[in-house]
Structure 1
Amino acid sequence: MEENSLHVAIIQADLVWENPNQNRENFTKKIEEITQDVDLIVLPEMFTSGFTMTPEHIAETEEGETIIWMKKMAFQKNAAIVGSVAIKDNSDYYNRLFFVHTNGLIDTYDKKHTFTLAGEDKVYKRGNSKVIVNYKGFKIQPLICYDLRFPVWSRIAEEDYDVLIYVANWPKIRVHAWNTLLQARAIENMSYCIGVNRVGLDANNYEYSGHSAVYDALGKKLSTIQPNFEGVEVIVLNKKHIDDVRSKLRFLDDKDSFSLE
């Protein structure tokens, strides 16, 4: 693979409700069927369970089977893997994103904006800090679903990054907002923006249509994955694109200063 590039596989999939074993098996098949060399594999939010508000049925620890599985897949494919999982940490539940490196090291992010409309805030403890992952010459900020609606949380301020990632269970009924905001986040931060969403029906009869996408720093859509269907697509990100756009246009030099409290 060329220098200063990142080959990213986005996996848009249906999820089996509260069945981690079956979901891991399904994703194993999809990952093993990727024939191209890739650097990073992106899975949806809560990819082992769907967006469940009863984590006591399926939540794991960081030493559980899903994290072991992610490490195994990352090693086998020589590619980092990112996705979120319902985790029990002491007596609290978290919607926790894991960025698993090929060497087994892990970066984690706990979803800050828990989805009050579904009562996620009553079940899962919210996070309060962002993480910037340094990987193969790229700085990556991973976020989760509802975080997409809050631009201040992703806005480039003191910390810089090249790629935003949103993993999601975003319902079809509000997919116009998903499409619009993903593109907006790319444009306003002059970064790549990746959104990976599920498809299918969940146990609450909510429908998900995917619309997983990758946008470049000017908001141009790079991906062609089809809505409503399972699919895997590999997109190449180039560091030079970020550097060239930012140095030529310099819009970030005029950004507003602010602090998060």
Structure 2
Amino acid sequence: MANSLNIAVIQTDLIWENPEANRKNLDDKINAIKTSVDLIILPEMFTSGFTMNATDIAETMNGKTISWLKQHAKQKECAITGSLVINEDGNYYNRLVFIEPSGKLTQYDKRHTFTLAGEHKVYTAGTKKITLEYKGWRICPLICYDLRFPVWGRNTDGYDLLFYVANWPKPRISAWDALLKARAIENMSYCIGVNRVGLDGSKYEYPGHSGVYDVLGNRIDDFEPNKEMTEIITLQKDHIQKYRNRLNFLNDRDNFNLEV
């Protein structure tokens, strides 16, 4: 069990609907990480940008990107995660995969499809929230629009880290900043948001604002907006236990019966 967890957060531009070019771009960024890390986090739909053109972009779970991720996880001896468009049994999913150095794969399908962009018309919504175990840390991975729904992200099973991968546009970036901080505070968990930068094929602008928050909602990263950059953050288990034991806020949470 590791008291600390070293995480590389990659805030990057994405080439519109071009998986091969995005893999090459990310090859350079991943290979540039010289420090030993436990986990690398990529943005939402990191092979394409936030596209509704699932038919042309979708891969399978045996496709090139999954193999590429497994190769990096093995070579870097760390886990790697992000979401991509997956075709499975005739349905399209905005699917996050978490791949460990051993090749073990855990997946999460985005629960809250973004109706404003018509995502619900193209992608099948997930129905299962997950908490995975990795190096003694309990981790809950979610995707973009899920951030607006606190009951879904609620810390009912004692996770240590909540993270969101995203393509969150500039006009609503103040909500992104506020909600990431709120999720950290209310769940007494580290909370990480990984957002892309640049313009997509529909001319929507993404300003980054990736962020890492501790259990009190303090920002502990140095990300700059509108800039491609990779930052390595060390999370400490002692920090979580110190404030949970001292404050006990999670003991007073309300109970919900969540229906999906």
1:43 matched residue in structure 2: 42
Secondary structure of 1:94 counterpart: strand
Which runs of no fewer than 5 residues in structure 2 stay unpaired?
A: none
- Alignment partners' CA distance in 2, 1:258 and 1:56: 37
TM-score, normalised via structure 1 length: 0.98
Cα separation, 2, equivalents of 1:65 and 1:3: 32
Deviations 1:148-195 (A, max 9, x none): 0000000112x2200001000000110000000000000000000000
Please state whether the residue corresponding to 1:208 is helix, strand or coil: strand
Q: Could you tell me which residue of structure 2 aligns to residue 125 of structure 1?
A: 124
Q: Distance in 2 between matches of 1:3 and 1:175?
A: 33
Matches of 1:16 and 1:125, distance apart in 2: 24
Question: Take 1:105 and 1:233, find their aligned partners in 2: how far apart are those partners?
Answer: 25
- Residue deviations 1:189-238 (CA, integer Å, cap 9, x gap): 00000000000000100000000010000001011011101000000001
Aligned pairs for 1:42-191 within 5 A: 42-157=41-156, 159-191=157-189
Alignment length, in residue pairs? 259
Q: Does 1:235 align with 2:233?
A: yes
Report the residue type matching 2:170 in the other structure: K
Q: Does 1:28 align with 2:17?
A: no
> In structure 2, how many angstroms separate the alpha carbons of the residues matched to 1:58 and 1:258?
38
Q: Secondary structure at the residue paired with 2:218?
A: coil
* Alpha-carbon distance in 1 for matches of 2:77, 2:170: 33
Q: Deviations over 1:1-40 (max 9, x none)?
A: x941000000000000010000000001000001111000
Deviations 1:18-74 (A, max 9, x none): 100000000010000011110000000000000000111110000000000000000
**d(CA) in 2 for partners of 1:228, 1:44:** 14
Alpha-carbon distance, 1:133 to partner? 1.1
Q: Distance in 1 between matches of 2:97 and 2:158?
A: 20
Distance 2:123 2:73 in 1: 27
| Paired residue secondary structure (1:151) | coil
Is residue 187 of structure 2 the alignment partner of residue 196 of structure 1? no
Question: Which stretches of structure 1, 4 residues or more, deviate above 3 A after TM superposition?
Answer: none
The aligned runs of 1:242-257 (5 Å cut-off) are 242-257=240-255
Output one character per residue of 1:84-123: Cα deviation in whole Å (capped at 9) or x when no partner. Answer: 0000001000000000011000000000000000000000
TM-score scaled by length of structure 2: 0.99
Amino acid in structure 2 at the alignment position of 1:90: D
Q: Gapped runs of 5+ residues in structure 1?
A: none
The aligned counterpart of 1:207 is 205
What is the one-letter code of the residue matched to 1:124? Y
Check if 1:17 corresponds to 2:16: yes
- Aligned partners of 1:99, 1:206: CA distance in 2, in Å? 27
Q: For 1:127-148, what per-residue CA distance to the aligned partner results, in whole angstroms no more than 9, with x for missing partners?
A: 0111111001110000000000
Kindly indicate whether the alpha-carbon contact (under 8 Å) linking 2:163 and 2:193 is maintained by their aligned counterparts in 1: yes
Query: How far apart in 1 are the matches of 2:41 and 2:240?
Result: 20
Q: CA separation in 1, counterparts of 2:257 and 2:155?
A: 11
Q: SS in structure 2 opposite 1:68?
A: helix
Q: Distance in 1 between matches of 2:77 and 2:220?
A: 24
Amino acid corresponding to residue 199 of structure 1 in structure 2: V
Percent identity, aligned pairs only, is: 59
> Secondary structure at 1:143's aligned position in 2?
strand
What is the Cα-based RMSD across aligned positions, in Å?
0.8
C-alpha distance in 2, partners of 1:165/1:74? 19
SS at match of 2:152: helix
